[in-house]
Amino acid sequence: MAICAVSFLLIIFALVDAAWTYRARLVILQTLNTSPMSDVEAVELTRQALHEVGEDVTLFRPRAYNGRDLFARNTLTPSDGYVIWDPVTPGSHPGFAVNVEQSGSTVRCEVCQCK
């Protein structure tokens, strides 16, 4: 019974550790633009968010989600969306998804490591 309880606790600790590793990291940025952002602005802001959480942005490049657009825009809220960042060298690092929500000049970025 004691071994079973210890095994259960080890599994719980492993799950908590995995959840902590892949948690979203929040970055709040300010922009001068209050209208919905362009692809170029979204890429630059998400690049800045990656830098703010300590990532070397030279190791990543934005991926076009549909073959041409880098900012996957929310169809209901055009100032919100995400940019996917892939490693420049495939397989060298996990990539990132940076979710963006703009409210006026405040931009909320959630940086999530891809699994």
Identify the band that residue 115 occupies on the pLDDT scale cut at 50, 70 and 90: confident
Would you state the pLDDT for residue 43? 96
Which of the pair, 66 or 107, is modelled with greater confidence? Answer: 107
**Model confidence over 7-30: pLDDT tens digits?**
443 344 444 444 445 678 999 999
Q: Burial of 3 by CB count in 10 Å (0-12 exposed, 13-18 middle, 19+ buried)? A: exposed
pLDDT score for 4 = 46
The tens digit of pLDDT for each residue in 36-73 reads 899 999 999 999 999 999 999 999 999 998 889 999 99
Angle 53-29-68 from CA coordinates, rounded to 5°: 80
Is the pLDDT reported for residue 2 higher than 90?
Answer: no
Write down the pLDDT at residue 21.
56
